[in-house]
Amino acid sequence: MASAADTRIKVGIVGGTGYTGVELLRLLAQHPNVELRAITSRKEDGMHVAEMYPSLRGRVDIKFQTPDTAGLEQCDVVFFATPHGVAMSQAQALLDAGVRIIDLAADFRLQDLASFERWYKIQHACPDILKESVYGLPELNRERVAKAKVVGNPGCYPTTVLLGLAPLLKGGLVETDSIIADCKSGVSGAGRKAEVHTLFSEASDNFRAYGVAGHRHHPEISEQLALLAGKPVGLIFTPHLVPMIRGMFSTLYLRILPSALDTDFQALFEQHYANEPFVDVMPAGSLPETRSVRASNFLRIAVHRPEGGNQLVVLVVQDNLVKGASGQAVQNMNLMFGLPETTGLEHVAVLP
């Protein structure tokens, strides 16, 4: 029987011209078990990938192709690094050809169809496939991801919030009607498209909130928190744009239940994530920084209990393009094909 080390995975990428697409290429080009077979872009059809992204010269020797000519049905897995709505329009044909799907957009994140259609303003094209899809946060759904044919890769903000709260909600240790998630992201989280608010002169030397009245990641976070807590959860989620390219910092505020005031929360988090290769629970009193995870698949958590009172402050940092997107997608791929979860993902963070 062939070992996991002998596994060769034929990979296709739909929509490889954005930031999550090039991040996928960077990671997959160094993955020992991956054969990059196709990458699609209608506009750049025929252009060498390295012409658009010189950072990949000598590592990625393929051209962009149209979806019709790329031969995606000959791949083992196809990543969708596309706008919402694209993956679900192509999912059935790929599944019929035996291809597994990892979608980095929102098509397979929300099981609540009404909520999806409300927030994304489109009708879901394949609700039957959605029902069978798996929410791809390995730390929560590892066994299900390993068996999945379709994985909805989590959003970047939800990854930080869910992993920051999971030990507390699973243990029933905090009030669940007034959780506050105060979150900040670098500008790359807005994608590579040209928009005024991401221009250098607009985003640089500036710090602002957005989506205060409602953000697409809110229903995704709430749906998963309810599963963790076993009941609906009250969440205030406020995202902010900060003047940096990469990075995400989420500060979570919670009130401890009276019955849990004697809990050692540092030990709780350390024990909960002791065997997680990409979740680092930092020593008591630590203050994590976004640069400590830049270009890596690691997520770092610090737990604080100001003045030993009844409030908890959980600090979570990650690279929004890696653990928040493409790295997590590769982590899911590893699980789906029986590889060690860390394969191709053990890059040390870039500093300074």
| Active site residue ranges | 156
Nearest by Cα to 229 from 162, 281, 182: 162
Q: How many CB atoms lie within 10 A of CB 61?
A: 12
Model pLDDT, residue 221:
98
Which one-letter DSSP state was computed for residue 325? I
Q: How many residues comprise the chain?
A: 352
Q: What domains does the chain contain, in order, with CATH numbers?
A: 4-132 (3.40.50.720), 157-320 (3.30.360.10)
Give the CA distances from residue 59 to residues 30, 55, 297, 334, 338, in Å, rounded to whole numbers and listed in that order: 8, 9, 20, 20, 25
Tens of pLDDT along the chain (352 residues) come to: 456 767 899 999 999 889 999 999 999 999 999 999 999 998 999 999 999 999 999 999 999 999 889 999 999 999 999 999 999 999 999 999 999 999 999 999 999 999 999 999 999 999 999 999 999 999 999 999 999 999 999 999 999 999 999 999 999 999 999 999 999 999 999 888 888 888 999 999 999 999 999 999 999 999 999 999 999 999 999 999 999 999 999 999 999 999 999 999 999 999 999 999 999 999 999 999 999 999 999 999 999 999 999 999 999 999 999 999 999 999 999 999 999 999 999 999 999 9
185: Cα separation from own chain's centroid: 13
- Our CA angle for 332, 323, 51, nearest 5°, is 90
Q: Are strands 208-209 and 235-241 parallel, antiparallel or unpaired?
A: antiparallel
